[in-house]
Amino acid sequence: MKHRSAALAALLLACGCASAPLGDQPDFVERGSGVPFELIWVPDGGFWIGRTEVTWDEFLAYCAFDQAQPELLDGITRPSKPLEVHPFDRHWGTGRRPAVGMSRAAAEEYCAWLSAKTGRSYRLPTELEWRLACGPEPEYVEDFAWYAANSGERTQEVAGLEPNAIGLFDMLGNVAEYCADDFSRRERGRALLLGGSWKDPAPAPRSRLGFEADWTLDDPGFPPGRWWVPDGDQLGFRVLCNP
């Protein structure tokens, strides 16, 4: 495992996908957004990444649906409330469940808002960074992932199962996570999602999903809205923080 991590870290650096490892750095709690959440240092990659997927508590602080005139930072916009055709929480509840149904553009805008609020540099991870943080496939996936066999056909609160080797929860299952890369070089702009979700039969580190246009068919607008994916109840993300 040590040799595999070193080789992957070298590949990250060679393609410019991560900064040089800075040695051990302390994990920390981000409080600047108003909703505290934990970040874990990934030493082989030289970055921090969210201990969990972004929760509704964290994402709704950005959405600010209940504010008539939400605060704007550096021209960063906020999403409109999605149509009731598919309520944003799917009637599953909010709180510590992972936020679902946003577009990749909305996830990136959240990162921009979070960066402006905190003074740190937040973004989506690249595919290689995500795989470095995820690590190898666990022997017993049911101990680490919410998926079709144990999810009850919905998301579950984050950090309810075992963490991976560096302390990250739900890298597999619960929600498929947006990354900064496209699904393929031939399909620019088609979002890539990693790790599988609550509705998949067997999520694994190699799980790889491209965004499907059919997920937007229930959107009454054309082209579909920028912020929400009507049939995206398996789509979410976690944040990466640069040193």
Residue type, 119: G
User: If you average pLDDT over residues 168-189, what whole number do you get?
Assistant: 95
Q: Whole domain around residue 56: which residue ranges?
A: 2-242
Give how many domains the chain has, as a whole number. Answer: 1
Residue 6 has pLDDT above 80, yes or no: no
Give the Cα separation of 28 and 228 in Å (integer).
30
What's the CATH number where 10 sits? 3.90.1580.10
pLDDT tens readout for residues 217-240: 888 777 788 899 999 999 999 999
Exposed e or buried b per residue across 16-53, where buried means at least 16 C-beta atoms within 10 angstroms of its C-beta? ebbeebeeebeeeebeebebebbbbbbebbbbbbbbbb
Which is more confidently placed, 204 or 48? 48
Residue 3 has pLDDT above 50, yes or no: no
